[in-house]
Amino acid sequence: MAISKSEEFTKIENKISDWAKALSHPARIKILKILAQKNVCMCGDIVDLMPLAQATVSQHLKELKRVGFIKGEIEGPKICYCLDYSTVTEAQKKLNELFDGIIIIK
């Protein structure tokens, strides 16, 4: 947000911070858990489980899609959202590498 000097940082620093940004709202954490644990994938079903309006949930889904945590498959007038495990796994791995680099050394 706002005049960010992202060119001044490394690719991995930008990538990790971008993933973290996608996780930086409790609604998006909750959406990821819903998609993983409930047998649910449609936007409307997610809205029913969330304390937010449909438009707001849609915005959060867009942000999760932007970083690749979820994919949306069109099924007629519906869209079935599902987790993209490869991206989620990659994010976990890189975040752990960051944490390990921070914690182990010294």
Partner DNA sequence: ATCGTTCATCGTAAATATACGATGAATATT
Partner DNA sequence: AATATTCATCGTATATTTACGATGAACGAT
Residues that bind DNA (CB under 7 A): 1-5, 21, 24-25, 27, 42-45, 47, 52-56, 58-63, 72, 74, 76-80
Using rule CB under 8 A, residue 83 touches a second copy: yes
- The beta strand positions in 15-77, using DSSP E, are 70-75
Residue 60 interacting entry, from a second copy, DNA, none, C-beta within 5 to 8 Å by type: DNA
At its nearest, how many Å lie between a second copy and the CB of residue 77? 25
At its nearest, how many Å lie between DNA and the CB of residue 20? 10
Residues 41, 35: contact at Cβ < 8 Å? yes
DSSP H or E segment with residue 62: helix 54-66
Q: What residue ranges bind a second copy (CB under 8 A)? A: 1, 4-6, 8-10, 13-14, 16-18, 20-30, 32-33, 35-37, 51-52, 83, 85, 88-89, 91-92, 95-96, 98-99, 101-103, 105-106
